[in-house]
């Protein structure tokens, strides 16, 4: 009987956790990069995600890497 109650408790906890957290799905994702004449690389990454409650989050990340011209 204890084993049965333990299994039910764990299953209920997992179900409650999945309903509370939910999973965000990626709506769109784009990456662009460009190289300038001095060897500098500029990269931009844009991601749009939608949470299970319908909220939309936009994330934009820019990175610049300097290099040496060969």
| Tens digit of each residue's pLDDT (9 = 90 or more) over 24-52 | 788 898 999 998 888 888 999 999 988 87
Tell me, what's the pLDDT at 11? 74
Tell me, what's the pLDDT at 58? 93
Tell me, what's the pLDDT at 68? 60
**How many Å apart are CA 5 and CA 49, to the nearest integer?**
38
| Tens digit of each residue's pLDDT (9 = 90 or more) over 17-30 | 555 566 678 889 89
């Amino acid at each position: 009987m204890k084993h049965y109650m333990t299994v039910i408790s764990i299953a209920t906890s997992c179900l409650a956790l999945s309903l509370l957290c939910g999973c965000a799905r990626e709506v769109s994702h784009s990456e662009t990069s460009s190289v300038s004449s001095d060897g500098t690389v500029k990269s931009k990454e844009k991601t749009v995600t939608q949470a299970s409650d319908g909220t939309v989050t936009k994330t934009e990340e820019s990175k610049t890497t300097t290099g040496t011209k060969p």
